[in-house]
Amino acid sequence: MFRVVVLGVSLKFEGRDIVSVKDFSRKEIDYILKIAQAVEPIAAKGSDMLKGKILATLFFEPSTRTRLSFEAAMHKLGGSAIGFAEAEIASVKKGENLADTVRVVENYADVIALRHPLEGAARLASEFSKVPIINGGSGAEEHPTQAILDLYTILKEKGKIDGLKIALVGDLRYGRTVHSLAYALSMYNIELCLVAPESLKMRREVLETIKETIPVTIRTSLEKVISQVDVLYITRIQKERFPEPAEYAKVKGSYKINLETLKKAKKNLIILHPLPRTDEISAEVDNTSHARYFQQVWNGTVVRMAILALILGAIK
């Protein structure tokens, strides 16, 4: 029933890990977005597509949306979820390493969603695990499923991704969502504007890669950019990842979106944020036609339903 035909392409998702967004081609990402569109109607009703399947969420870092939306997605498809959201209560506290944790949990679950403070953690886990690993955030490195739900939101709200002018604003050094999103967007025909304080500019490895395929402009001020873009994706300054509190103090509050800054915006500009926000978007923006960050949360569940169904082979 859920076979979506993309002409001339045969894609395989069953059993695959999602460690980096770079592990996927544009065709594959487009396919996930198509499946998300197809499953969206059942997100409200529920289904038993994944009956008997178990997701384990191993979260070694704080999370609200990512973990809960993975669990909600699993429940909505008739499966169940187990796991921990606090490394403090897991055996890691007793000195168990990640490879062992994964080799234990694979006996209980059909798929593992992992969040870990170390870059490379999801890749390492995928090398040890017999069941697919989905990276729910690997330190400051990547957060691939967030990027796919960000793309889904753009597609849903704008009807397309190609042809748009998109700004990524805020902490582009320590923010993992913007790394995955930049890689993902570089597969589309878009123009990207990166806005960050000098000390938080986009990591070089990401910048070098994306510059190979899309035009990228780099700015420290948001002022001019805001009148030019179709999508503004703003992020929290990742306080917890700064080596020095004094360095954080220097950049805290660098960008603020409020009704005043939005006066110059295009009428149909949409504002996205992976959340949680701190002070970068004033509450007064929430009721404007630009705000889409709470819709993004809903889309997160839908996209994770699509991903779980594909990886567990319920949708081909």
Q: Distance between CA 275 and CA 69 in Å, rounded?
A: 13
Q: Distance between CA 194 and CA 218 in Å, rounded?
A: 5
**C-alpha angle 76/102/147, rounded to 5°?**
50
Residue with tokens 């990591």: 203
Work out whether 69 is an interface residue with ligand NCD (CB under 6 A).
no
Taking residues 217 to 236 in sequence order and writing x for each that binds ligand NCD by CB under 6 A, - otherwise, the string is: ------------------xx
- Any bridge partners for residue 216, and if so which? 192
Alpha helices in the chain (DSSP H): 26-45, 65-76, 98-105, 121-128, 144-158, 176-185, 204-211, 245-251, 293-311
Q: Which is nearer to ligand NCD, 79 or 274 (CB)?
A: 274
Q: Which is nearer to ligand NCD, 82 or 275 (CB)?
A: 275
Candidates 116, 173, 176, 292: give the one binding ligand NCD (CB under 6 A).
Answer: 176
Residue with tokens 């001339």: 8
Q: Which is nearer to ligand NCD, 65 or 156 (CB)?
A: 65
Does residue 292 carry a catalytic annotation? Answer: no
CB of 146 to ligand NCD, least distance (A): 5
- Distance set, CA 244 to CA 230, 248, 305 (Å): 35, 7, 39
Map the footprint of ligand NCD across residues 71-130, applying CB under 6 A.
none
Work out whether 143 is an interface residue with ligand NCD (CB under 6 A).
yes
Alpha helices in 159-251 (DSSP H): 176-185, 204-211, 245-251
Work out whether 66 is an interface residue with ligand NCD (CB under 6 A).
yes
CB of 134 to ligand NCD, least distance (A): 13
CB of 136 to ligand NCD, least distance (A): 7
Peptide bond into 215 cis (omega under 30): no
- SS3 letters for 73-94? HHHHCCCEEEEECCHHHCHHHH
Q: Which is nearer to ligand NCD, 5 or 283 (CB)?
A: 283
Does residue 94 carry a catalytic annotation? Answer: yes
Work out whether 135 is an interface residue with ligand NCD (CB under 6 A).
no
Q: Distance between CA 185 and CA 191 in Å, rounded?
A: 9
Work out whether 139 is an interface residue with ligand NCD (CB under 6 A).
no
Does residue 179 carry a catalytic annotation? Answer: no
Q: Which is nearer to ligand NCD, 101 or 235 (CB)?
A: 235
Residue of 67, 115, 173, 292 with catalytic role: 115
Work out whether 137 is an interface residue with ligand NCD (CB under 6 A).
yes
Work out whether 146 is an interface residue with ligand NCD (CB under 6 A).
yes
Assess contact for 95 and 76: CB atoms under 8 A: no
Q: Which is nearer to ligand NCD, 21 or 49 (CB)?
A: 21
Interface residues toward ligand NCD, by CB under 6 A: 65-66, 137, 143, 146, 176-177, 235-236, 238, 274-275
